[in-house]
Amino acid sequence: MIERRATGSGRVLLDVGCAHGFFLRAAQARGWVPHGVDISAEAVEYARRDLGLAVTRGNIDDCRLPPLSVDVVTLIGTIEHLTDPMRTLRSAARLLRSGGLLAITTPDIEGRLGYFSWKPPEHLFYFSARTLARLLDETGFVVELRRVEWKYYGLADLGQRLWGYWGLPNPNRWARALESVGLGRLSVKIPTNEMLVIARRR
């Protein structure tokens, strides 16, 4: 989806909150020049040592990339964890070339399953499609795409997650009940509370 919208010949990608670098490695295999940043010392060490990736420990402002040198910035499950999302988006705009792309995935607090997004203190900020679009507009971006992510869940797994989320005792009970009637392997595709937003730098 990013590749379909990327314009020009540039292939420099920065993943903010890259963790162990698996997304960067996949991008590299598709011809991108990957860079990453993450706060985890262990994850950064793995990405550098085991995957041979150019990854910086810290935040986006610790990257030593020159302004207007990046074609795509990604924040995959990251923006809700940041202490200053606006500053991060402004830094992304500074690094991106004119017309460069920004891709974000984050829980939609107004989505059908929005209540699953409440994860304090892990999640510091919560967004709806409307509030995220406003933040992007204020930091120099135009939203081109927003969609809800759908995922397949096994009924046993889904029930176990819900059981545990509601704090009910013995979360494995649901899974065992389904398996006892032969439905443990059945899966369903449902809309999640995750939204994907792709925006272009002005």
pLDDT value of position 14: 99
CA atoms 115, 116, 122, 128: torsion sign: negative
Q: How confident is the model at residue 31 (pLDDT cuts 50, 70, 90)?
A: very high
Whole-angstrom distance, CA of residue 69 vs CA of residue 25: 20
pLDDT value of position 124: 85
Mean pLDDT of 1-16: 86
pLDDT value of position 159: 72
pLDDT, averaged across the chain: 88
Q: Does position 119 have pLDDT exceeding 60, yes or no?
A: no
Q: Which residue has the tokens 């499609």?
A: 129
- The domains of the chain are located at 2-150+191-201
Q: Is 29 helix (H, G, I), strand (E, B) or coil?
A: helix
Give the tens place of pLDDT for each residue, 33-86: 999 999 999 999 999 999 999 999 999 999 999 999 999 999 999 999 999 999
CATH architecture of 2-150+191-201: 3-Layer(aba) Sandwich (3.40)
Whole-angstrom distance, CA of residue 55 vs CA of residue 21: 8
Mean pLDDT of 186-198: 83
pLDDT value of position 165: 66
Tell whether pTM > 0.85: no
Let me know: does 107 contact 61? Beta carbons within 8 Å: no
Percent of the chain with pLDDT over 70: 90
